[in-house]
Chain A
Amino acid sequence: KAGVTQTPRYLIKTRGQQVTLSCSPISGHRSVSWYQQTPGQGLQFLFEYFSETQRNKGNFPGRFSGRQFSNSRSEMNVSTLELGDSALYLCASSLRLEGGTEAFFGQGTRLTVV
């Protein structure tokens, strides 16, 4: 069974640009969650999607958005990039809402904003 796939693995963007990251969950999983990981803040929850609906949102500005498609694949978008958005962005998939069952993480997308 294929694991969670995140693309691209590495990305370099300039301040002010926007970026879209993609996450393909494990087949059959309906929940996809997104996280930001930085050395200073550790792992922080961005949002969770279940059956194409955003179920939860962390404490991030509106520049961070996401969506989920009918095949459960998910994308997150960051607009008007800032230097502080440089981070490892992780997604995780699970059968049900993430808190209620085991979550499987992808390898992450390393975003560098210059």
Chain B
Amino acid sequence: KNQVEQSPQSLIILEGKNCTLQCNYTVSPFSNLRWYKQDTGRGPVSLTIMTFSENTKSNGRYTATLDADTKQSSLHITASQLSDSASYICVVSARAGGSYIPTFGRGTSLIVHP
């Protein structure tokens, strides 16, 4: 059964600090891994997309890494801002014939305090 586990479940940090969120998956056959940011009451917004051959992808202060051998990914947030307070969701898609089946993690709830 395809699964995506995220840790920690929640995280509180001070503004300006860095943090790293983890995503472990057992999805096969692997197609790609995405990180989304979801603000309360809004739809998710894509941060990064990585395929099997990519091991790092950056989007501003967000840097995602992928280790396809250990089936782990991390999302590193640098110099956090209050606006980073949100839920961060890891999604891993499996290739199924000509289409894709996504499996979602439960997300990490990040709170950034001033």
Contacts and interface: CB of A to CB of B under 8 A. Distances in A.
Given A42-B106, A43-B89, A97 B98 contact: yes
A97 B44 contact: no
Interface in A61-114: 90, 92, 97-100, 102-108
A45 B107 contact: no
Nearest to A50: B99
The contact size tier of chain B is 20 to 34
Per DSSP, chain A at the interface is: strand
Interface in B57-114: 89, 91, 93, 95-96, 98-107
Interface residues of A, number: 24
Interface of A: 4, 33, 42-45, 48, 50, 55-56, 58, 90, 92, 97-100, 102-108
Interface of B: 31-32, 41-46, 49, 89, 91, 93, 95-96, 98-107
21 contacts: A42-B89, A42-B105, A43-B89, A43-B91, A43-B104, A43-B107, A45-B102, A56-B99, A56-B101, A90-B44, A92-B43, A97-B100, A98-B93, A99-B93, A99-B99, A99-B101, A100-B31, A105-B45, A107-B42, A107-B43, A108-B42
